[in-house]
Structure 1
Amino acid sequence: MIPDHIAKTIIDPKAYAAGQPIDEAFTYLRREAPLDVAHPEGFDPFWVVTRQDDIRQVELQNELFHNGDRSTVLTTIEADLKVRQMMGGSPHLVRSLVQMDNPDHGNYRRLTQPSFAPQNLRALEARIREIARGFIDRMAAKGDRCDFAKDVAFLYPLHVVMEVLGVPEADEPRMLKLTQELFGSADPELNRAQGKVDDTDQALANLQATVADFIVYFNEMTEDRRRNPRDDLASVIANGQIDGQPLGHLEAMSYYIIAATAGHDTTSSTTAGALWALAERPAQFRAVKQEPSLIKGLVEESIRWETPVKHFMRTATADTELAGRKIAKGDWLMLSYPSGNRDEAVFDNPFDFDVTRANNKHVAFGYGAHVCLGQHLARMEMRILWEELLPRLESVELDGQPRRMEASFVCGPKSVPIRFKMH
C-alpha cells in the first residue's frame, strides 16, 4: 500500500502547482512501489501506474482497461455519487471521446479524424504562421516585458483552434474563461466562484454551470451549421452521422467542448512551460536560437517537460495481471503521465530540460487507440511559433516568479512574467 503522505500528495492540486512535491512523490513510487494501491481518505482505492512501460501496457489494451465504466478523472466518492444522481447513473458530466469505449470511441473518433490528419493540416500552415506572427508583433509592441502565458501562450493556440472549430474571434475570451473554469475548478483564481471551494455541492454546481454555458453556446452553433454548413469542424460535428443517425445531444455537445478546451489549453500550457524553461536556461535558449533544426527537439522536450494532462483513470474489465501484480475486475487505475515522462528507465537525466534529447519517447499525448486526436495540430502550432519567435528574440529572462494553476487533472503555467529584447 502506498504511504498515506504520498497518496495525499498525488491527489493534491496544490502539489501539482508547486511541481517539486509531485516530482518527489512519483520518483519515490517508481523506485519503491511502481504499481501499488493508494487509499486517500474520501476516495475509492486506486492503483497508481507510474512507470512508462506499464502505462503503455494499459493504454494498449482497450478492451481490458475501459475509459467509461467509472469516472475517467480521479474524483471523490461523494462527488462520484452526486454526478451519477445528476446524470441518470452515468459517472460523467460530459461524454466525449475520452469517456468512450468501443464501438462508440472508434465511431466518434473517425468522424473528425480526417480534420486532424497531418496531410490535411498542411493546408493550414500558412494561416497558422500568419496568426503566430500577429501575436509575436503584439508581444514586441509591449516593449521589453510581458506575461508570456497570458499575453501569448494562452491566446495563440486558442485563436488557431477556434478558427478550425468555427468560433468567431469575438467569442474567444468567453471560450478561454470557460476552459479555465473547467480545468481550473480547484484553483481559487480560475474557478467559476473566483475563490476557495471546499464544498462538493458547490464545486459540482460550478462545473455544471460551466458545462451548461458551453452547451447553450454550441446548441446555437449546431442549429446554425445545420442550416448553413461551412468548411469548419463545427459543421462536421453538427452534421455528422454514426450508423445513419445524428450524434446524440450529449455526445455532440461533449465533442465541441473537448475540441474547444483540450484543443488549446494543453498547447498553451506546453508553450508557456517551454519559454519558462528557456528563460531559466540561457545555454538551451542560445542553442535552439543558433540551430533552428533543434526546434523539433524543443517542441518534444517541452511536451515531455510540462505534460499538461496529469492523469487519466482506467477500469479493469476482468481479473488480470500487470507488472506481476494481480488486478481485479472493477479495479480503478490512475495512469500518471508526468511520472511516465520522468521515468529513469526511459530517459537519461529525466529532470534536465534538454532540447537536444534524442529519441524522446514521452507519453504526454497518451498512447494507443486513445492517443490525442489533436497531437499533430499541437506540434505544428508550437513549431511554427518557435520558428517565427526565436529569430526575433534576442534575449529572455524571468521577470518574477512564474506560477502554475492548482489542478490535479490538467495543469500548466498560469503566469510566466518575462523581460526580453526583440527586433
Structure 2
Amino acid sequence: MQSAATVPPPPGEPPGGIDVTTPDLYADEARLHATFAWMRAYDPVRWMEPEGYRPFWAVTRRADVVEIERQHGRFLNAPRAILALEEVVEAVRAFTGGSPHLVRTLVHMDEPEHRVMRGLTNAWFLPANLKRLVEPKLKARARQSVDHMLALGGACDFVRDVAIWYPLRVIMDVLGVPEEDEPRMLKLTQELFGNTDAETRRNLGEAGDLIAVVLDFYQYFRALTEDRRRQPRDDLASVIANARIDGEPIGDIEAMGYYTIVATAGHDTTSSSTAGGLHALVQHPDEFRRLRDDPSLMPLAVDEAIRWVTPVRHFMRTATEDYDLRGRRIRAGDDLMLLYPSANRDEEAFEEPFRFKVDRSPNPHVGFGYGVHLCLGHLLAKMEMRALYQELFSRLDWVELDGEPAWVASSFVGGLKRLPIRYGLRPAAD
C-alpha cells in the first residue's frame, strides 16, 4: 500500500492544476466537473497540501465516499467537519476560548452524542408528521410561487425571484418564525454559506464574517427560545427549545446549533437543488417535455435534480486508525475530504452521469450524505421540491435561458445564485 509520501505523480493534470479548496472552482461548473473527472480517472484518493490548509486526502469516487461514511467509528466528524483555512480556525479558537467551531450542529458530532441529539427531533421529520403538519401548506406555497412567476410577465431570475423564497417560507413555517423575519433569515444564510463569495460576504475578513453572522443568529434564536419556553406551540422551534438531554434542559450552544442548521441548510440546499434542476431541464429540453407530459416521473426527477446539483459540496472526516483505501494508506489522524459532487458524477456508479434523466432509476446519489449522518430533513426537502415542480410543470409550456447563470463561489454549500429565464406560463386551472 502507498502512503502519502510514496504516491507516484499521476499523468498530466488539467490546465490550472488541481486545487479543490479554492471557492472559485465551485463557481465554474465546467472546470469543476472536468477536475473531478480527471481525479476519478487518475488519482481518486489524492493527497493534498494546499497553502493555508492542513493537508488532507481528497476522495472522489462514490464507492470510497460510502465506504468512509459507513464506518462512522473509524472516520470521525470531529475535530474537522468542514474545510477551513488555518488562520480562520485559529481566529475562531481565539474567539471561543479554544473550540474550533463557532456553532456545533449535528454535522460536527459523532456517536453517541450525534444519536442523542438527532433523536430530539427525529420524530418530527418522520413521514407521518410531515404529512400532517407540513404537506397541507405546501400546495398553497407552491401556487403562490408560480403565480408570482406569472405576474412577472414571462421573465425572471428564477433563483432570486422564486427558488430562494419558496423553501425559505416552508422552513420558516416549520420553525414557527414570523413571515416578516424571512428576509433577515435569508440574508444571514447567504452570508454564512457565501462568506467566500464577493457578492454575499460582509467583507470583514473570512473569520470576521463568520463570527459576526453567527452572533446575529445567536441573538435571534436566543429570543425565540425564551418565547417558546414561555409559550410552546406546535412547531419545531418549540420542540428544540423544550428538549431535554439526560433529564436536563438542552444547553444554549446545542439549541443554537439546532436552530442554525435547520434555518440555513433547511432551505438553502433545497433552493439550490430546485433551481439547478430547472437549469438542467433547460439544458435537456427532451427531458423537460417528458416531465411536463408525465407527472408520475416527479419523484425520480426530484432525486435526479439533487444528484445533479449536490448542494453540499463536501464534509471532512478524520481517521482514528490506519486504513487502506483504494491502494492508499490512510494514517491515523489523517483528514479526508469527501467530495460529493464528484461522487454523484462517478462513471462507476451512474450510467451516463453527465446526462440529466428524469426517470433515472436506480439513483444511488449521495446528495444527502450516507449512513448515520444522512440529512435529517431529506424527506422534507424532497416533499417541498415535488410540490413546487408539480405546480410549475403543470403550467409551464416552455422555458429558456435569458442570460448567463452564475454559481456561488463556495467549497462547502452552494449552487446557482442567478438563473435568468424566459418562459410561457399559464394561470392555475382552478
SS in structure 2 opposite 1:9? coil
Q: TM-score, normalised by structure 2?
A: 0.94
Deviation at 1:75, TM superposition (A): 1.2
2:190 matches 1:187: no
Give the aligned residue type for 2:103: V
Equivalent in the alignment of 2:410: 407
Check if 1:108 corresponds to 2:91.
Answer: no
**RMSD, aligned α-carbons:** 1.4
Once the 2 structures are TM-superposed, how far is the Cα of residue 120 of structure 1 from its aligned partner?
1.3
> Mapping of 1:389-404 within 5 angstroms?
389-404=392-407
1:75-115, Cα deviation, whole Å (9 max, x unpaired): 12222222222223222111000101111100000001111
**Are the counterparts in 2 of residues 15 and 21 from structure 1 also a CA contact under 8 Å?**
yes
- Deviations along 1:147-205, one digit per CA (max 9) or x if unpaired, are 11111110000000000011110000000000000000011111123xxx7xxxx2111
Moved more, 212-221 or 73-82: 73-82
- 1:300 paired with 2:303, answer yes
2:291 paired residue among 280, 288, 291: 288
Contact 2:18 2:35 in 1 (8 A): no
Aligned equivalent of 1:226: 229
Seen in structure 2, the aligned counterparts of structure 1 residues 273 and 57 have a Cα distance that, compared at 3 Å, is same
Closer, same or farther in 2 for the Cα pair 1:7/1:122, shift >3 Å? farther
8 Å Cα contact 1:280-1:398 kept in structure 2: no
Q: Is 1:354 aligned with 2:357?
A: yes
Contact persistence 1:52–1:346 (CA under 8 A): yes
2:57 pairs with 1:47:
yes
Distance 2:236 2:309 in 1: 28
Query: What residue ranges of structure 2 are gaps of 5+ in the alignment?
Result: 1-6
What's the counterpart of residue 181 of structure 2? 171
Q: Report deviation, 1:338.
A: 0.5
The answer to whether structure 1 residue 377 and structure 2 residue 380 are counterparts is yes
State the 1:7 CA deviation: 6.8
Identity %: 53
* Aligned-pair CA distance for 1:43: 1.4
The one-letter amino acid of 1:273's match is G
Classify the secondary structure of the residue corresponding to 2:19: helix
Q: Give the CA deviation at 1:329.
A: 1.2
Q: Which is worse superposed, 178-187 or 9-18?
A: 9-18
Separation in structure 1 between the aligned mates of residue 154 and residue 90 of structure 2, nearest angstrom:
51
Q: Quick one: distance in 2 between partners of 1:97 and 1:56?
A: 19
* Of 37, 42, 47, the match for 2:47: 37
Partner of 2:367: 364
Q: How many residues align?
A: 415
TM-score scaled by structure 1?
Answer: 0.95
Distance in 2, Cα, partners of 1:403 & 1:125 = 31
Contact kept in structure 2, 1:17 and 1:407, CA below 8 Å: yes
CA distance in 2, matches of 1:174, 1:79: 25
Which secondary structure does the structure 2 equivalent of 1:397 belong to?
strand
Q: 1:320 aligns with which of 313, 320, 323?
A: 323
CA distance in 2, matches of 1:349, 1:281: 13
Q: Letter of the aligned partner of 1:91 in structure 2?
A: P
- Is the aligned partner of 1:244 residue 2:247? yes
Equivalent residues of 2:92, 2:211 under 8 A apart: no
Residue 389 of structure 1: CA displacement? Answer: 1.0
Match of 1:66 in 2: 76
1:331 matches 2:341:
no
Letter in 2 for 1:186: T
